[in-house]
Amino acid sequence: MTSAILFTLCGIALAGIGAFGLVAHAHLLRRILALNIIGSGVFLVFGGLGYRLPQSGADPVPQAMVITGIVVALAATALAVTLAVRLFEETGRTSLPGEGSADEHAAD
């Protein structure tokens, strides 16, 4: 099995694990981490799909997209964490309203 197929399969597995975490957890920080795991899986898939034969080198377009995506993901993560902290400061909850989390009842 070539490394490109291995990277692609690992990326698909990471995206699946992240999707499960996104659906299974109501806590905002865990959801933000799940989105980061999904993004890492997508970056691995792009890296695996951008592979060429060793003689010709790697395709620079997927590499540039992954590098740009990492920067955008970092900025989006910082914004999401800032919003989650602000929500906690304002409401005392760590999940969105109406999601039935246990910490909603503890804040009352």
Domains and CATH numbers, the chain: 3-107 (1.10.287.3510)
Q: What is the pLDDT of residue 48?
A: 82
CA distance linking residue 48 with residue 66, whole number of Å: 11
**Residue with the two structure tokens 């980061």:** 36
CA distance linking residue 73 with residue 82, whole number of Å: 14
Report, as an integer, the average pLDDT of 70-82: 96
pLDDT, averaged across the chain: 85
* Cα 100 from chain centroid (whole Å): 23
For residue 11, pLDDT over 70 is answered with yes
Burial class of residue 44 (count of CB atoms within 10 Å of its CB; 0-12, 13-18, 19+): buried
Q: Which residue has the higher pLDDT, 103 or 73?
A: 73
Tokens of residue 91, six digits: 């409401």
